[in-house]
Structure 1
Amino acid sequence: MDRRSFIRKAGAVGGGAAAATATLAAPAIAQSSPEVRWRLTSSFPKSLDTIYGSAEEMANIVREMTDGKFNIQVFPAGEIVPGPQALDAVQSNTVEANHTCSYYFVGKDPTFAIGTAIPFGMNARQQNAWLYEGGGNEVLNEFYATYGVIGVPGGNTGVQMGGWWRKEVNSLADVQGVKMRIAGIAGQVMAKLGAVPQQIPGGDIYPSLEKGTIDAAEWVGPYDDEKLGFHQVAKFYYYPGFWESGPTLHFMFNAQKHAELPKAYQAALKAGCAYANDITMAKYDAKNRLAIRSLVGKGVQLRPFPRDVLDAAYVASQELYAGLVQTNENWKKVYEPWKQFRDESFQWFRVAEYTMDSYNYAMQASGK
């Protein structure tokens, strides 16, 4: 056979095989990487770039990991549904996902509070450890499954502030009759102290404080609070927010829609949530250190809660939890392992973390 003819024929066969391979491969790739578009409703306004931005961070990671095939469009609170209806929207498949605080839904069941934070709970690291390594995600998702959703941690703000008060709190007596915007089960604790809890969305807090409709309000911490301008209508800024030692944000997904995703997309979603969970805490830690200085420079009066307020709130919290253990099986199933993890974490953190932190802070405060 002529040498050139052999090469030409071999090339034709090789090219045909390559072409056939490409023809076969294209549909396989298309089938394994479908175009998926989800909508996510946030419980937060777009103006709060850090907490609202957590959902955008997650969506960006998912988009990049799937080569743009899995797109999640993020909507601020109120654009599709109000923030407090974020769970209902996912449950009914109005949207496939939300980004929220599970304690917004304590009206459905107090157990939702544990997913975010309950008074005198764990700090951000401890809560995160319980969720990921202490069985927290598993026991919570058994509970969330009864609402047709899957919950995944999606950020933390760290210990929050005790809120903005129009008048000083010098003792427990000063809490009596105070109309306070406060979310979750913490409102029940404050009611035991004599306050009058109010459920008000974040966007309505400023005008309510300004008009005197409420006397005090908690939100998050220095960075977000300054952006919302609370220092312009209330000058006393209390700490700590004992009701939110380490509040976890959650992404919630419609369970059926999540199950329909290719495994690779589920993995991308998991990775995106983990990134948002980590970066949100880092952003708040970085931004709050500057914002607290800025607020004090604007004349804000920082005040610690009096000890009798903390003591009364602690007793009221424990009484409330004990009652729920007796009357709410969902609460009992989630709270008891949570409390065991909390108690053991506190024992450990007192050994090294607390002593190291206390010494460092004392040295810094003394100017050394």
Structure 2
Amino acid sequence: MKTFTRTAIAALLLTSTAASAQMVEGPDVNWSFSMWGNPRALSAGMEAIAEEVSEKTGGKFNIKIFYGGQLSGARENLDGLQLNAFEGAAICNFYHPGKNPAWMVFSLPFLPLGDPKVDQYVRSKLFEHPAIVADMERWNAMPYMSGLLPQYEILGKGDAPTSLDDWSGMRVRAGGGLGSAMEALGATKTTLPAGETSTAFQRGAVDAAAFPYTYAHVSFGIAEEADWFTANLAPGTSECGWIFNKTAYEALPSQYQELLMSLRGKGMDVEQAAYAEQDKKNLPVFKETMQEIVYSDSDLAKFREVAGQPVWDAWIAANADKFDAQGLFDAVWSYAEEAMNQ
């Protein structure tokens, strides 16, 4: 991943104009970010931004990402930000749905986020939505950059679910609305942090795992153990994004704030390039070592019928007294339409 990051920076970040190449003067600042797991496609964009920030400030503003839960567990990153234990972190919304109820909109099934350009536009706009911002403010945090997780697919052991009925009784690692979609097929959802899923999968505590396709299945060792994979289920995604400690951000000089904000788009470009690179590498291996499951159009239409609108309606009703859930849900579709019309 370090090799990819350097390549990505050369291609996407160092093609700047003469104006953007100018040095940004300011004080010495050192930030620590909390991340679980190892460096991977999800972290490539933030790594690229950290390198660019250091270069543009002559080494005065440095961001270091601590992996493997060195600073905090995956479920406790919001708590650490609230306590000012570090300046930034990655979070996955479904690791702690009660802490970020509005953010669970990202995990609803069958949202119009399949196209990478639409996905980046919609998530960037949602990161500025009042309900999404308010979720973070409760933890002295602020949204920064989406992780742009690709559509999920599912890898599993044992008998392959070649029809929708075969999911009944299966134990599937899937969170949020995606988990609710699997429950609509009769599966039992299990919500586990990514780092704990491999062990549960190896020990038979779960039968299958839903992860962003294909990179996360490889990053967390699921592909090494699986017998089959779904190729076109595309039930949805989630949001594992990057957030800042609000106190730390507001303490930065304005030129450092502007530098960080100016790099979000390029950071997301790096993420999407990393995902695409991993797919190119991983998919041939998947097809060679596992059974590929491709569902018929009629099966997919049935899946969307039982796990689309009913899950959406239930989520909106369950959150109506917490925030404008209907307005937030509608915003996803409105932003997607804006993106497709550009």
Which residue does 1:39 correspond to in 2? Answer: 32
Which residue does 1:263 correspond to in 2? Answer: 254
| Aligned equivalents of 2:186, 2:251: Cα separation in 1 | 49
Matched, 1:300 2:290: yes
CA deviations on 1:249-297 (whole Å, 9 max, x unpaired) are 4221111211110011112222343322110101111220221012212
Deviation at 1:158, TM superposition (A): 2.6
TM-score, structure 1 as length reference: 0.76
Task: Pick from 153, 160, 164 the counterpart of residue 168 of structure 1.
Answer: 160
Which residue does 1:313 correspond to in 2? Answer: 307
1:165 touches 1:217 (CA, 8 Å); kept in 2? no
Matched, 1:152 2:155: no
Matches within 5 A, 1:1-368: 33-42=26-35, 44-46=36-38, 48-114=39-105, 116-123=106-113, 124-132=116-124, 134=125, 136-139=127-130, 140-240=132-232, 242-245=234-237, 247-297=238-288, 299-305=289-295, 306-307=299-300, 308-324=302-318, 326-342=320-336, 344=337
Deviation at 1:70, TM superposition (A): 1.0
1:153 touches 1:277 (CA, 8 Å); kept in 2? yes
Deviation at 1:238, TM superposition (A): 0.9
1:209 touches 1:215 (CA, 8 Å); kept in 2? yes
Mind listing any 5+ residue stretches in structure 1 that lack a counterpart? Answer: 1-31, 350-368
Instruction: Give the 3-state SS of the residue equivalent to 1:292 in structure 2.
Output: helix
2:127 touches 2:145 (CA, 8 Å); kept in 1? no
Deviation at 1:156, TM superposition (A): 1.8
| Aligned equivalents of 1:191, 1:171: Cα separation in 2 | 15
2:122 touches 2:339 (CA, 8 Å); kept in 1? no
1:59 touches 1:272 (CA, 8 Å); kept in 2? no
The structure with the largest helix share of the pair is 1
2:93 touches 2:104 (CA, 8 Å); kept in 1? yes
Instruction: Give the 3-state SS of the residue equivalent to 1:156 in structure 2.
Output: coil
Alignment RMSD: 2.6
CA deviations on 1:31-78 (whole Å, 9 max, x unpaired) are x62111111001x311x5222333322211111121111111111142
Deviation at 1:135, TM superposition (A): 6.1
Read off the aligned partner of 1:207 and give its amino acid letter.
Answer: T
User: Identity over the aligned pairs, expressed in percent?
Assistant: 20
2:103 touches 2:239 (CA, 8 Å); kept in 1? no
Report how many aligned residue pairs link the two structures.
311
TM-score, structure 2 as length reference: 0.81
Mind listing any 5+ residue stretches in structure 2 that lack a counterpart? Answer: 1-24
2:141 touches 2:246 (CA, 8 Å); kept in 1? yes
Read off the aligned partner of 1:158 and give its amino acid letter.
Answer: P
2:123 touches 2:146 (CA, 8 Å); kept in 1? no
| Aligned equivalents of 1:234, 1:78: Cα separation in 2 | 26
Instruction: Give the 3-state SS of the residue equivalent to 2:152 in structure 1.
Output: coil
Distance 1:320 1:165, change over 3 A: farther
Deviation at 1:95, TM superposition (A): 0.9
CA deviations on 1:210-239 (whole Å, 9 max, x unpaired) are 221111111222233234432332211013
2:173 touches 2:209 (CA, 8 Å); kept in 1? yes
Q: Which has the larger radius of gyration?
A: 1
Which residue does 2:14 correspond to in 1? Answer: none
Deviation at 1:348, TM superposition (A): 5.4
| Aligned equivalents of 1:325, 1:223: Cα separation in 2 | 32
